[in-house]
Structure 1
Amino acid sequence: MGQTPLRVATYDVDFSRKGPGILLRDILRETSDDVNASLGVIAHVNPDILLLTGIDYDLSNVSVRAFADALASAGANYPHVFAALPNSGMASGLDLNGDGRLGSARDAQGYGRYAGANGMAVLSRYPIEDAEFRDFSDLLWKDFPQADLPQIDGAPFPSQAAQDRQRLSTTGHWDLPITTPDGVLHLFAYSATPPVFDGPEDMNGKRSADETRFWGAYLDGALAQLAPSGLFVILGNSNLDPADGDGIKGVMQTLLDHPRVFDPQPSSLGGKAASDPSHLGDPALDTADWPGDGSSPGNLRVDYVLPSSDITVVGSGVFWPQEGTPEAALLAEGEGITRHRLVWVDITLP
């Protein structure tokens, strides 16, 4: 068993901008509240492997590398970075949301105003084996074996032509191997659509659920000739809480209960202190903070780091410090600062 724990984390930084190139400008200027806050949080938690969701993609990974350089200056060094073109912002040429118009952000394969918007990236202290990268982002939703496709009055919504081109992944589904000192660890990464902003057809709710169902199907061998072997961590923003909020909650719980998956239940004192009295789930496990004003869902558990059941977990947490502590200053309110909290798990590999 490995002697040094490996810290694996996910963080939805909500860095998507209004146009391409703006994120790079904001990183280089060093004056953006959300960038600076995220730098402080990441440097404080100091994970060895980090999945960022909600970060814009560019062809040469210039923005991600600039952010990694900024982290190095803050004391967290990540010599290895990886990103791939997300479905978010990828033009479809069709009316995918059924509003009768073309070319909107909701007509992209995943919500986005431009190609590369709102993608994912991995930062690692250890080599990323991108030659062995498996990308399932082009899987059509209708071809997913458990697809729960939206309908209105028994007809495909918004149209059969749209469903013939609609991909399952809002952002992407990745199997990315990383060579750690104790062996290869596969990152099963994704960032799903929120199960809201739709109509009675529940298109986003059904899609969000199927994006999480994907991992159970993958582990069970339903998407390839053989189920994936080896050590893995499922991580990212599912946008599904197993007990509260919108969405098909049982789908998230089914993944948490999968025999090949271990749920370390990362928690925080800050989440517990900010509990929503009407919620059923344990508030200490919440990972995102939306004000409970009646028009928003309140605090939810939507970000996950789920090691395979053959990995030993030695620690875990959600970076959500209590108000009044020195760490709480890292989450100070500012323009555009993410509602999400960084989630981390310390593991040793067999």
Structure 2
Amino acid sequence: MPHDTSRRSVLKAIGGAATVLGIVGTAAGRGNAPIPRFAAFNVENFETGQVQEKGDEHAAAAARVIQEIDPDVLVVNELANNVQEATVDDSVPTDQTNVEAFVDNYLSEPQRKNLEGIKYEYTLQPESNTGLLSEDDYDFNKDGVAGERPDDAFGFGVYPGQYAFGIASRYPFDEDAIRSFQELLWADMPDNLIPLADDDGVDTPEGNIYLTEAELGAFRLSSKTHIDVPFDVDGDTVHGLFSHPTPTGFDGANNFNGRWNHDENRFWADYVSGADYIYDDSGTEGGLSDDASYVLLGDMNAGPGDEPLDPATKYFIENDDFDSRSLPTSPGGAQKGDPDATADFGEFGIAHVDWVLPSPDLSLRSSSVVWPSANANKRGLSDDVTAASDHRLVWADVAPE
């Protein structure tokens, strides 16, 4: 999409010093005043029971990988929102949010003798559209049955809050300044790619998903949520931009989910360029100011070259409002044919779908994907990486100039 020349684009054109590592970074040697480290990790469907009690092998493996990198700001994708889940199951504990429980039960306790626990003081568990039904019964997936989870929810989920995400940070954030976009309607995005029914819907091919005129007034853009969290990083404000767009596929020939994913990713490009159609859940309009600093984090379910719509190339790689000059790499991805890859989906291949992408006014010092090569199982890290998720943790050290 076209962007006017901005301070950020000028800074990107000028360039800055950035040493980007293609190896696995560790907490060792970061020093007493390390550069702020941001990380994203899709942990593959953490359920409430796994994190609210100690002893879960999956959660322990994920915590070990996180402790190896020791990020200052972390987003954990696919961590269930237990507060939402409890609205349909009163046996679900809510004394702590799941992200708080994960920090207390796993991250704060060393998962290997050579590691230290991480005591994140600040956490946030945003509400998610997954498993959340509209007040009106809509048959969003067009299977002839309206108002049923998981497919008629605003985002795919067997219960409210499944596949949500949690945020943990050493840096404080101003809760009153957080902007969430959970309720923004897809139809309110100009030039959106919403698949619509033909005149009467009768001739729509079987298996296709589309929205009716009535559904346009209800269907939300975000399959989970999009949220802007302003962190106080040693006196500088850095906005963390978090989301987890719907995966492509699982639809009909008209590519409903691919189009949805495209526009969920497009949202951030519009937001950082200050698009005026945007409104948050409190009713405040507009995007970020031109002089804001930010880091995009999360599993975007989109990678460079993904056909046919390729939102990652359009909105991240070729967008002057993000610094994509040097992407995180790993030995494990390189060994499988793509050093930029961040996930291994087995028979479906490897993919680059997870991102930590700064604004170009920030100084990118180093970055990596935690994916050791198959023959480099130092201290058993490769085993934990595989046990933790089919995704790999991605991190980047970025700091205000």
Question: TM-score if structure 2 supplies the norm length?
Answer: 0.77
Picking from 262, 265, 282, the partner of 2:327 is 265
Moved more, 332-341 or 38-47: 332-341
Structure number with greater CO (CA < 8 Å, separation at least 6) is 2
Relative distance call for 1:269 and 1:85 in structure 2 (3 A) is same
Is 1:320 matched up with 2:355? no
Q: Which residue of 2 aligns with 1:11?
A: 41
In structure 2, distance between residues paired with 1:187 and 1:201: 33
Contact 2:39 2:356 in 1 (8 A): yes
Question: TM-score if structure 1 supplies the norm length?
Answer: 0.88
Is 1:287 matched up with 2:342? yes
* Paired residue type of 1:347: V
In structure 2, distance between residues paired with 1:12 and 1:146: 30
User: SS at 1:270's partner residue?
Assistant: helix
User: SS at 2:44's partner residue?
Assistant: coil
CA-to-aligned-CA distance 1:104-125 (integer Å, 9 cap, x gap): 3011100001111111111001
Is 1:68 matched up with 2:103? yes
In structure 1, distance between residues paired with 2:200 and 2:270: 26
Moved more, 123-132 or 60-69: 60-69
In structure 2, distance between residues paired with 1:56 and 1:331: 25
Identical-pair percentage: 29
User: SS at 2:321's partner residue?
Assistant: coil
Is 1:99 matched up with 2:152? no
Picking from 304, 309, 320, the partner of 2:355 is 304
Contact 2:331 2:339 in 1 (8 A): yes
User: SS at 2:334's partner residue?
Assistant: helix
Relative distance call for 1:330 and 1:28 in structure 2 (3 A) is farther
Moved more, 337-346 or 157-166: 157-166
Picking from 234, 254, 259, the partner of 2:315 is 254
Q: Which residue of 1 aligns with 2:158?
A: 113
Relative distance call for 1:226 and 1:175 in structure 2 (3 A) is closer
TM-align CA RMSD = 2.2
Q: How does 1:184-263 map to 2 (within 5 A)?
A: 184-222=237-275, 223=278, 224-225=285-286, 227-228=288-289, 229-244=291-306, 248-263=309-324
Moved more, 212-221 or 169-178: 212-221
Relative distance call for 1:79 and 1:30 in structure 2 (3 A) is same
* Paired residue type of 2:61: A
Unpaired runs of 5+ in structure 1?
18-22, 276-282
In structure 1, distance between residues paired with 2:395 and 2:355: 9
Q: How does 1:21-170 map to 2 (within 5 A)?
A: 23=48, 25-59=49-83, 61-69=96-104, 70-74=106-110, 75-92=117-134, 93-102=137-146, 103-153=148-198, 157-170=210-223
In structure 2, distance between residues paired with 1:261 and 1:100: 42
Contact 1:182 1:349 in 2 (8 A): no
Relative distance call for 1:306 and 1:217 in structure 2 (3 A) is same
Contact 1:34 1:334 in 2 (8 A): no
Select the structure of larger CA radius of gyration.
Answer: 2
In structure 1, distance between residues paired with 2:65 and 2:375: 16
Contact 1:318 1:341 in 2 (8 A): yes
| TM-aligned CA deviation for residue 101 of structure 1 | 1.4
Contact 2:374 2:382 in 1 (8 A): no
Equivalent residue pairs, number: 331
Relative distance call for 1:274 and 1:180 in structure 2 (3 A) is same
| TM-aligned CA deviation for residue 328 of structure 1 | 7.6
In structure 2, distance between residues paired with 1:232 and 1:159: 36
Contact 2:65 2:385 in 1 (8 A): no
CA-to-aligned-CA distance 1:55-106 (integer Å, 9 cap, x gap): 1013355221110112011212211100111011111231111111130301
In structure 1, distance between residues paired with 2:118 and 2:385: 23
* Paired residue type of 1:257: E
| TM-aligned CA deviation for residue 153 of structure 1 | 3.9
In structure 2, distance between residues paired with 1:43 and 1:50: 11
In structure 1, distance between residues paired with 2:200 and 2:35: 52
Q: Which residue of 1 aligns with 2:400?
A: 349
| TM-aligned CA deviation for residue 247 of structure 1 | 5.6
| TM-aligned CA deviation for residue 177 of structure 1 | 0.7
User: SS at 1:330's partner residue?
Assistant: helix
* Paired residue type of 1:101: V
Contact 2:369 2:393 in 1 (8 A): yes
Relative distance call for 1:328 and 1:123 in structure 2 (3 A) is same
| TM-aligned CA deviation for residue 250 of structure 1 | 4.5
Unpaired runs of 5+ in structure 2?
1-32, 84-93, 111-116, 202-209, 279-284
In structure 2, distance between residues paired with 1:106 and 1:201: 17
Is 1:172 matched up with 2:202? no
User: SS at 1:332's partner residue?
Assistant: helix
